[in-house]
Amino acid sequence: MKRILIISYEFPPVVGGAGSVARDLAIGLSKEAEVHLLTEWRSPEETEKRKIDGYVLHEVKSRRGIRPINYWNYIKGMDLDSFHRIIINDARASMVAALFFPEQLLERTVVYIHGREPEEVIVNPGRIRKLMRYPQRYERFLKGSRKIVSVSNYMKEKIMATGIDIDSSKIEVIYNGIEERKFNPRESSLREAYNISPEKTILLSVSRIVREKGYEEMAEIFKEVCERDENVHWVVAGNGGYLEELRRRIEGWNLGDKVTFLGGVPREQLPEIYSGGDLYWLLSNFDEALGLTYLEARFCGTPALARNKSGERETIEEGVTGHLADSDEDAIEYILGREYLELRDIDKAVEGYRLADSIKKMKEVLEI
């Protein structure tokens, strides 16, 4: 049985999309290989939560400022020659590999790129990274690696647009798959639990509550929707730095009875939340690499509304699983028009987005 090493600073129960991918890879690949997972130590309690049969867990206690050195010192002590492939799963793990991996190790390395790495490292690296010559080291890392995995075609285009001399065939697009066993349509008590009347259309948002996710504009849109139609209710799940400001704006407009804030929701409860919504909407201002929450809603049978840009275009099939809005006014008209209530069997339109599909493609990349 071949051995695989996954290096990921993020890992559940710490929240983060890259961490969820690391967990899914560790579990999915362990059926075909001996998987070792190296991540950050958090606490004895979290270590216990992370222990899942099927893979070997390694944890590093690192310090900010010297974290790459801490990781490399641990990695050097492992039997690296025994690993068939090494997966570098997130930006912090990439820094370790870019700074310290020799060429012979890079030849067995597969790099996952999830989000803003091309801009933050190559295009706008910042003063400290420039002093470290990190853009040059990162480019050496990408060029020397065996394969690069991009989470969307949009992300692949961004990588190529940096000007790094990489053949496009080296970049494999693998969507972050959704596990059907966990995300599927089900009975939801959302209305009953929060006393939302049957005639109300439930608009649902699940994310970090930060301004960049579009909540400032979404609040304005919701205000206008309410002025034109009182039969709407917005359910917001998540925490973040913009949450209190969002609450203040809603209360200031006397819309408090039309918005329910759930706060942080355990991941295992999300399918019921998604299933209880009539429309999932998130008008993010980030250039999302993919947008997992749109797919999670899709798997639970709930149509989605997003901006017509970036990776969102790969998560919503126009008129089948939702709508891509060209403007705020377009979003308002779509919400008020309620065509999404007529969409059926959205959860069946999941070909290519299943976790099993992603794991299968990853096995081909890893040659196991």
**Model pLDDT for residues 233-287, shown as the tens digit of each residue:** 999 999 999 999 999 999 999 999 999 999 999 889 999 999 999 999 999 999 8
Q: Strands across the sheet with 109-113, in order?
A: 55-60, 34-40, 3-7, 85-88, 109-113, 147-150, 171-173
Residues 199, 164: one domain?
no
Residues 111, 235: one domain?
no
**Rounded to an integer, what distance in angstroms lies between the CA atom of residue 237 and that of residue 260?**
9
266 upstream amide cis, omega within 30 of 0: no
**Model pLDDT for residues 141-154, shown as the tens digit of each residue:** 999 999 999 999 99
Residues 201, 337: one domain?
yes
Q: Is residue 13 part of a domain?
A: yes
- Say which amino acid occupies 134: Y
Residues 222, 109: one domain?
no
Residues 246, 341: one domain?
yes
Q: Is residue 7 part of a domain?
A: yes
Distance of CA 13 to the CA centre of its chain: 14
Residues 240, 166: one domain?
no
Judge contact between 41 and 9, C-beta under 8 A.
Answer: no
Residue 50: pLDDT band by 50, 70, 90 thresholds? confident
Lowest mean pLDDT among 48-52, 226-230, 299-303: 48-52
Mean pLDDT calculated for residue range 216-228: 99
Statement: residue 306 has pLDDT above 90:
yes
Nearest to 219 by CA among 200, 242, 238: 242
Q: Is residue 182 part of a domain?
A: no
Judge contact between 262 and 273, C-beta under 8 A.
Answer: yes
Statement: residue 16 has pLDDT above 80:
no
Residues 204, 320: one domain?
yes
Q: Which long-range contacts (CB under 8 A, 24 or more apart) does 158-163 make?
A: 158/118, 158/119, 159/113, 159/118, 161/118, 162/118, 162/122, 162/123, 163/122
Residues 203, 224: one domain?
yes
Q: Report the pLDDT value the prediction gives residue 15, as an integer from 0 to 100.
A: 61
Residues 238, 170: one domain?
no
Nearest to 239 by CA among 265, 219, 209: 209
Residues 196, 343: one domain?
yes
Statement: residue 71 has pLDDT above 80:
yes
Residues 152, 124: one domain?
yes
Q: Is residue 232 part of a domain?
A: yes
Looking at the structure of the chain, the number of domains it has is 2
Phi/psi region, residue 359 (left: phi>0; alpha: psi -120 to 50; beta: rest), is alpha
Q: Report the pLDDT value the prediction gives residue 245, as an integer from 0 to 100.
A: 98
Statement: residue 13 has pLDDT above 80:
no
pTM, to two decimals? 0.89
Burial label, 135 (beta-carbon count in 10 A; 0-12, 13-18, 19+): buried
Question: Residue 358 — φ and ψ, nearest 5°?
Answer: -65, -45
CATH of the domain at 95: 3.40.50.2000
Burial 314-326 (b: 16+ CB within 10 A, else e): bbbeeeebbbbbe
Residues 237, 342: one domain?
yes
Q: Is residue 339 part of a domain?
A: yes
Mean pLDDT calculated for residue range 72-76: 98
- 11: containing domain: 3-177+354-366
Mean pLDDT calculated for residue range 40-45: 91
Mean pLDDT calculated for residue range 191-198: 97
**Rounded to an integer, what distance in angstroms lies between the CA atom of residue 99 and that of residue 112?**
17
Q: Is residue 183 part of a domain?
A: no
